[in-house]
Each structure stands twice: as structure tokens, then as C-alpha cells.
């Protein structure tokens, strides 16, 4: 992967909270969620991060690529930079 969405960064920008309030357990707590699984388990952490991302989308966040690797260096991607490739994810629409 050469570009990705850093959920901590997106969370902090969207909810207007300082970086010290973007730890996984704090983000979950502020969103009224409990941590599911074992702390520091890669799979469980990923599932909890996905739950945060879903909630952010429900709250109206436009999740966009905000970090990338270029020439071996980590770089921040401006939110105004046009995206390459697929459009931003959308919440699934269910038929009645």
C-alpha cells in the first residue's frame, strides 16, 4: 500500500479533537462504544478501527486518503488534493 486513510488523523480533524485524544480506546469511548476483543490484537484492533470508520461515515465524514509513501518517506496528503482511482467510500444503500 502506498496510500491510505489514517483514521486517527481523520477522527481528530472531523471531530475537532487534539491528537492526544485519538488513541483507539479513547476514540471508542467518546463515540459511546466499548472495545471488542483483546487489546493490541491486530485483528481485534482492525475490527474496532472499522467500527470507528463506519460511525464517522454515518456522522457525515468524507473519509479520504490522508497519508502516502513517496520515495520511502511518509507524507501527509492534503484534504484538498484530488484523489486518484476509486471515489470515496459510501455507506451501502439498502432496498426496502
- Kindly report the number of other CB atoms within 10 A of residue 84's CB atom: 7
Secondary-structure class of domain 3-76 per CATH = alpha beta
Measured over the CA atoms of residue 93, residue 44, residue 16 and residue 62, the dihedral's sign is: negative
Reading the block at residue 80, the C-alpha cell is 484538498
Q: What angle do CA 46, 49, 53 make, to 5 degrees?
A: 135
Alpha helices (H) along the chain = 7-15, 24-30, 42-58
**Is the pTM here over 0.85, yes or no?**
no
pLDDT of residue 88: 44
Residue 10, φ and ψ in degrees, nearest 5: -65, -45
Q: Judge whether 65 and 4 are in contact, CB under 8 Å.
A: yes
Give the domain ranges of the chain: 3-76
pLDDT of residue 89: 44
**One digit per residue, pLDDT tens: the chain, 96 residues?**
899 999 999 999 999 999 999 999 999 999 999 999 998 899 999 999 999 999 999 999 999 999 999 888 899 988 655 444 444 444 555 555
pLDDT of residue 83: 46
Amino acid at each position: 500500500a502506498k496510500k491510505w486513510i489514517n483514521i486517527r488523523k481523520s477522527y481528530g480533524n472531523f471531530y475537532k479533537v487534539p491528537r492526544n485524544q485519538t488513541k483507539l480506546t479513547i476514540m471508542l469511548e467518546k463515540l459511546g462504544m466499548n472495545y471488542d476483543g483483546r487489546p493490541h490484537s491486530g485483528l481485534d484492533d482492525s475490527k474496532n478501527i472499522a467500527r470507528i470508520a463506519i460511525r464517522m461515515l454515518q456522522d457525515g465524514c468524507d473519509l479520504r486518503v490522508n497519508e502516502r509513501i513517496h520515495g520511502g518517506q511518509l507524507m501527509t496528503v492534503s484534504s484538498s488534493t484530488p484523489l486518484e482511482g476509486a471515489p470515496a467510500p459510501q455507506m451501502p444503500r439498502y432496498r426496502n
